[in-house]
Amino acid sequence: MNTRELKQFLDYKSDEFNRPEFISSDPVQIPHRYSLKKDIEIAGFLTATIAWGQRKSIIKNSLELMQLMDEAPFEFVMNHEDKDLIKLQKFVHRTFNSTDLICFLQSLRHLYTRYQGMENIFQLHADNYSLQRAIHQFKQLFFELPHPTRTEKHVSDPLSGSAAKRINMFLRWMVRNDNRGVDLGIWKSLSPSQLSCPLDVHSGQVARKLGLITRTQNDAKALVELDANLRRLDAEDPVKYDFALFGLGVYEKF
């Protein structure tokens, strides 16, 4: 396919998969359960943090986590006491355990108390066409408090070579608002043009077959390559093509 044909194909596939019907089978359903902005972003961040492995398991454990937080994520983060953390001791998703979870809740409270929340941090450190440096800065601030070293692995850093799939997915949820019903678009200070594609095994395989990536590893360098090629197709909303790449890989075994 030439560039025009590739754009037509990916536009068509993005439209096909970017539909409300997608929500019920995807972790994005978790933040959709809430109406308050701070509940949505905390539910989205924690869900994205554990979004690796089987989607059924991700959704099940995310729902359990919301229940443990009394279905009021922001209220729990800001006002929990030590006794409220006892019930979290049983939580685990793969290598993310209760020690990591409690650290995350304390760090989130720190961000809302000292920095007015997550959106403010990303907005302050955003570049014109990228949030990858902002992700790095976010991680630095997120782990300002004393914390177990093991917990740091659960927030990826693009400047350390990671594609940062999960946090890029979280940012897509928060920033994109195309009135299609899937992405929530509650962060108004950032633009879809600044987003990067959540690069994982599925989207990576499809991107390579379509000539959007030549690098064999799904790392930060591959993401730079993918970003550049997707921006050539749509500079204002390059990450809409995540729907096409993921859908082709997961649903159509492209």
Query: So what's the pLDDT on residue 4?
Result: 95
Q: Mind listing the pLDDT tens digit for each residue in 12-54?
A: 999 999 999 999 999 999 999 999 999 999 999 999 999 999 9
Locate all alpha helices (DSSP H) within 149-219, ordered by sequence. 165-175, 201-209
Q: How far apart are alpha carbons 125 and 159 in whole angstroms?
A: 14
Nearest-10 Cα torsion for 39, 43, 46, 52 = -160
Query: So what's the pLDDT on residue 254?
Result: 83
Query: So what's the pLDDT on residue 42?
Result: 98
Query: So what's the pLDDT on residue 117?
Result: 96
Query: So what's the pLDDT on residue 185?
Result: 98
Q: Would you say residue 245 has pLDDT above 90?
A: yes
Q: Mind listing the pLDDT tens digit for each residue in 140-171?
A: 999 999 999 999 999 999 999 999 999 999 99
| pLDDT confidence bin for 252, thresholds 50/70/90 | confident
Q: Would you say residue 248 has pLDDT above 90?
A: yes
Judge residue 204's burial from the number of C-beta atoms within 10 Å of its C-beta, 0-12 exposed, 13-18 middle, 19 or more buried.
buried
Angle (CA) 93-39-184 rounded to 5° is 90
Query: So what's the pLDDT on residue 238?
Result: 98
CB 151 within 8 A of CB 97: no
Q: Mind listing the pLDDT tens digit for each residue in 170-222?
A: 999 999 999 999 999 999 999 999 999 999 999 999 999 999 999 999 999 99
Find how far residue 218's CA is from the centre of its chain.
16
DSSP designation for 211: T
CB 83 within 8 A of CB 102: no
Residue 6: name the closest of 239, 232, 246, 247 by CA: 232
Q: How far apart are alpha carbons 244 and 158 in whole angstroms?
A: 23
Tokens read off for 24? 């019920």
| pLDDT confidence bin for 123, thresholds 50/70/90 | very high
DSSP designation for 187: -
DSSP designation for 235: S
Mean pLDDT rounded to a whole number for the chain: 97
Q: Would you say residue 1 has pLDDT above 90?
A: no
Collapsed DSSP state (helix, strand, coil) of residue 116: coil
* Strand runs labelled E in 23-131: 92-93, 96-97
Break the chain into its structural domains and give their ranges: 3-250
Q: How far apart are alpha carbons 201 and 112 in whole angstroms?
A: 33
Those residues whose C-beta lies under 8 Å from the C-beta of residue 193, and which sit 6 or more positions away, are 129, 231, 235, 236, 237, 238
